[in-house]
Amino acid sequence: MLMKKTTEVDKKKVAEVRERIEKRVRSEFGVTAKSAVLPQIYEAAALCVRDEVMDAFAAERERSQKSGDKCLIYLCAEFLIGRAFSNNLVNLGLYDTYAAALAEMGYDLGEIEEQEADAGLGNGGLGRLAACFLDSLSTLEMPAMGCGIRYEYGFFRQDIKDGCQVESPDAWLEGRDVWSAERADRVFEVKFGGQVEELWSEDGKLKVEQHNTRTVLAEAWDMPIVGYGSKLPATLRLWRARSPQQIDLARFSRGDYENYSEERDFLEAISKVLYPEDSHPRGQQLRLCQFYFLVSATVQSIIDAHKRHYGDLHSLPDKIAIQINDTHPALAIPELIRILIDEEEFTWEEAVDIAQRTFNYTNHTVMPEALEKWDAETMRRFLPRVFRIIETIDARLRDSIWQSHPGDNDLVSRLAIIQGGQVRMANLCVLMSGHVNGVSQLHGQILRTTLFRDFYTAYPERFLGITNGVTQRRWLGVANPGLRQLVDETIGEGFMKDWRKIAELEPYAQDAAFRKKFDAVKAANKKSFAEWMASSRGIEVNPDTIIDAQAKRLHEYKRQLMKAIHILALYDDIVDGRLTDFPPTTFVFAAKAAPGYRRAKDIIRLINAISTLIASDERTRDLIPVVFLPNYDVTAAQHLVAAADISEQISTAGKEASGTGNMKFMLNGAITLGTMDGANVEIAERVGEDNIFIFGATVDELDRINAEGSYNPRAIVDANPRLAHALGHLIDGSLPTSDGSRFEDLYYSLRPDNGWGDQFFVLHDFAAYDERFFDVMKAYQDRDRWLTSAVINTAKAGYFSSDRSIEDYNEHVWHLR
Ligand code: 26V
């Protein structure tokens, strides 16, 4: 890692920090810094950083709370925050100071940060976006709180054994979490089950009571999210479930604890574990309880705070905006209505009006299997009162459609909230939100024309497309300090706080001396990536090869399979002597598969088999090594994006809502090989066609093929012997696996012989991908051209800062100060 020379950092401050860390080691662990072990040094240093955070912000936070400024609540079941230590140091402007202090003590900051658990409280894109957004909200000093669940076990850890994914629990809280503090003054009761009783008082008022409920306590744990050079940190509030039962010693001494601990286990299980299904929901009752737990605690705490500050709840929409992320927290809507009616004596109309002016909804995927639907009976059983409110919303919606479109049964059944015994959470969100947005231009458009077409006809003004972004603090400042330093030296500091600034780099794309430095930074990053791969994963990477990366959740629509088959074609080319003069390229895959998603896991197995095949053949091993990087998390992503030359964004057009990895790679000077999908479209628009490699069918083309029913994968394979041969490896036994098994299921998922016809158009786009891939290889060898493009990619990445996304949300949706 590049570091400023000690002369440039304030020596006095360094000495002071060093002294504080050493003192902390003594007071926390009763040992001297000399004999302390690494985890103790980390913890002491982290506690010192935490002190700086708490110290700096206490006053401003109080001021903001008292100011009456409108506040954003970012409600999300996932926050994929990763490590905080280095990020906080960068944002506080103390990175070099701490690095120097630790160096004086004989430690490398890099090895110290390795002691921190990577907080993986999210599955992928949606959760990481939430974390980037909090960083931006904080940096832009917009009053904001993220609300989520303090899962005891985060996203599963992934190991590869005999080529297969093996999952194990991620006990991220086993070490000490120095960043969060329990708020003993913020505990709320969340109630499940029981019966609802409606009582009419003499003056004709309805009173609703719930009986025989099971109660869980929601305990708030707050983590300050430090922005860059900002005075007002955002707060991430994560709710932990606790059983309200006091230990009943008498019962225990009677030996009567079996049911007791069962009940307690059920209640506390609510915040136990993050569900690892991405786009593959299963009707898990516990998940329903998790989501209700999150939203009930959040809405109660919002109401509690609002009443304390303003007294009257009618002003709620002026003081609070709530952003619902995907439908997981959708129950916040009926929960707010419930509290307003049952506990605050609002009328139905008033409560609904307040809800509609408070909530907004972001959709993050169009994959039909990820559109949440809950079994109505399950919801009635666990959440009887909330379910009744949803029934009322549904009944009123049906009535109003009947009025406006008499006799249009189809329209009713398309728009209804409860249909066929299921509660459709997306319909609830769209109906009850002020704004609905997609996460890229294209995705916004697809929502208007397909998924929510009928709603769009009724409420066109509601729909927006606000393109995602990523925080340049973590994804350049922390991940790539070398490039950040080069940027700062060249155009002056400022990009960390001002996303437009990086555009000033563009002219330097034409400057040969600058390109050379840019190239040197990339080369150094590849070297440190190789070192990190060796030390953290025990995997060897040759840093002198091209690094071609595809890193994202494993899903068929993302088409890791297409890339794998393409590598098999390259293998055949080399073995058959067709391919000479090929620049050595390492293909890096990183992806977790949902544990229950068999085909996804099979693709991982395939990638590892290909890796072994190539490694065991001396003709190919140095030319096209394939590396599977296990346990892809935020930390791994930071290392990978800094080192990559090529960014693979090859999803089936229309399926990737936005993508954010594409933006991280771009920012770090990798060039995209991708389809016209999600935010790739906007990346292409900005960098221009010379600086991106686009291939494959567009959404319109695929729509046409689908409408005509004209897709014939069989014909494509028959006409392309090279593709047919590559595919043949899946079933001919040539791929080495530990048990001799083959890949029939994957093969037949593509071949139509089985009636199953390549629904993600892998074969359709294969030839176009192949052609574009060789264009990339050729371009890479023209160093001047490549580096010019790489610099342009970095220079054009400003728009894809989450600061820009947040500014857009604020202007169009939230209207915070
Ligand atoms: C669904 C489920 C259902 C079962 C329980 C767990 C779970 C977790 C997540 C999901 C849906 C995930 C949706 C998602 O992550 N979408 C991604 O959002 C990114 C940020 O907007 C976007 O860049 C990606 O294109 C999109 O796939």
Reported as a single tens digit per residue, the pLDDT across 747-794 is 999 976 665 589 999 999 999 999 999 999 999 999 999 999 999 999
In DSSP notation, 734-786 reads: -S--TT----HHHHHHHSGGGT---TT-HHHHHHHHHHHHHHHHHHHHSHHHH
| pLDDT band with cut points at 50, 70 and 90 for residue 258 | low
Other CB atoms within 10 A of residue 716 CB: 21
Enumerate residues 6+ apart whose C-beta is below 8 A from 793. Answer: 666, 667, 669, 670, 671, 672, 687, 691, 692
Atom of ligand 1 at shortest range from CA of 678: 25
Ligand 1, from 79, 156, 279, 558: best to mutate by most atoms within 8 Å of Cβ? Answer: 279
Average pLDDT, the chain: 94
Whole-number Å distance, alpha carbon 795 to ligand 1 midpoint, is 28
Atom of ligand 1 at shortest range from CA of 276: 6
CB 53 within 8 A of CB 88: yes
Average pLDDT over residues 715-726: 95
pLDDT on residue 2: 44
User: Residue 48: which of 102, 107, 110 has the closest Cα?
Assistant: 102
End-to-end C-alpha distance for the chain, whole angstroms: 38
Ligand 1, from 364, 372, 677, 805: best to mutate by most atoms within 8 Å of Cβ? Answer: 364
Annotate 625-653 with b (16+ C-beta within 10 A) or e (fewer).
Answer: bbbbbbbbbbbbbbbbbbbbbbbbbbbbb
What does the alpha-carbon distance between residue 375 and residue 424 come to, in Å, rounded to a whole number? Answer: 9
Atom of ligand 1 at shortest range from CA of 443: 25
CB 319 within 8 A of CB 310: yes
What does the alpha-carbon distance between residue 719 and residue 756 come to, in Å, rounded to a whole number? Answer: 19
- Looking at the predicted structure, is the pLDDT value of residue 264 above 80? no
| pLDDT band with cut points at 50, 70 and 90 for residue 262 | confident
- Looking at the predicted structure, is the pLDDT value of residue 236 above 60? yes
What does the alpha-carbon distance between residue 109 and residue 106 come to, in Å, rounded to a whole number? Answer: 10
Residue nearest (by alpha carbon) to ligand 1 atom 7: 278
Whole-number Å distance, alpha carbon 587 to ligand 1 midpoint, is 25
Whole-number Å distance, alpha carbon 353 to ligand 1 midpoint, is 29
What does the alpha-carbon distance between residue 589 and residue 597 come to, in Å, rounded to a whole number? Answer: 18
**Residues carrying an active site annotation:** 364, 552-553, 558, 660, 664
- Looking at the predicted structure, is the pLDDT value of residue 731 above 70? yes
Q: Which residue has the tokens 């192949």?
A: 770
| pLDDT band with cut points at 50, 70 and 90 for residue 565 | very high
pLDDT on residue 443: 98
- Looking at the predicted structure, is the pLDDT value of residue 248 above 70? no
Dihedral pair phi/psi, residue 409, rounded to 5°: -60, -40
- Alpha helix positions (H), 322-383: 332-338, 348-358, 376-382
Whole-number Å distance, alpha carbon 553 to ligand 1 midpoint, is 10
Instruction: Quote the DSSP letter at residue 244.
Output: -
Whole-number Å distance, alpha carbon 275 to ligand 1 midpoint, is 12
Instruction: Quote the DSSP letter at residue 709.
Output: T
- Looking at the predicted structure, is the pLDDT value of residue 154 above 60? yes
Q: Which residue has the tokens 């658990």?
A: 117
| pLDDT band with cut points at 50, 70 and 90 for residue 420 | very high
| pLDDT band with cut points at 50, 70 and 90 for residue 257 | low
> Residue 676 half-sphere exposure, CB side, CA atoms within 13 Å?
12
Residue nearest (by alpha carbon) to ligand 1 atom 16: 364
Average pLDDT over residues 285-292: 94
pLDDT on residue 785: 97
Dihedral pair phi/psi, residue 238, rounded to 5°: -110, 130
User: Residue 691: which of 630, 647, 750 has the closest Cα?
Assistant: 647
Q: What is the pLDDT of residues 355-398, one digit of tens each?
A: 999 999 999 999 987 789 999 999 999 999 999 999 999 999 99
| pLDDT band with cut points at 50, 70 and 90 for residue 630 | very high
| pLDDT band with cut points at 50, 70 and 90 for residue 736 | very high
Residue nearest (by alpha carbon) to ligand 1 atom 24: 659
Share of the chain above pLDDT 90, in %: 87
pLDDT on residue 192: 95
Average pLDDT over residues 400-407: 96
Average pLDDT over residues 223-241: 94
Burial of 542 (0-12, 13-18, 19+ CB in 10 A): middle
Torsion of CA 26, 27, 28, 29, to 10 degrees: 40
| pLDDT band with cut points at 50, 70 and 90 for residue 318 | very high
Residues whose beta carbon lies within 6 Å of some atom of ligand 1:
123-126, 129, 275, 277-279, 281, 326, 364-365, 370, 439, 468, 656-660, 678
What does the alpha-carbon distance between residue 406 and residue 125 come to, in Å, rounded to a whole number? Answer: 42
| pLDDT band with cut points at 50, 70 and 90 for residue 56 | confident
Return the SS3 of 189. strand
Other CB atoms within 10 A of residue 728 CB: 14
| pLDDT band with cut points at 50, 70 and 90 for residue 279 | low
Enumerate residues 6+ apart whose C-beta is below 8 A from 89. Answer: 49, 95, 98
Structure tokens at 614: 């190539």
Atom of ligand 1 at shortest range from CA of 287: 5
Whole-number Å distance, alpha carbon 159 to ligand 1 midpoint, is 22
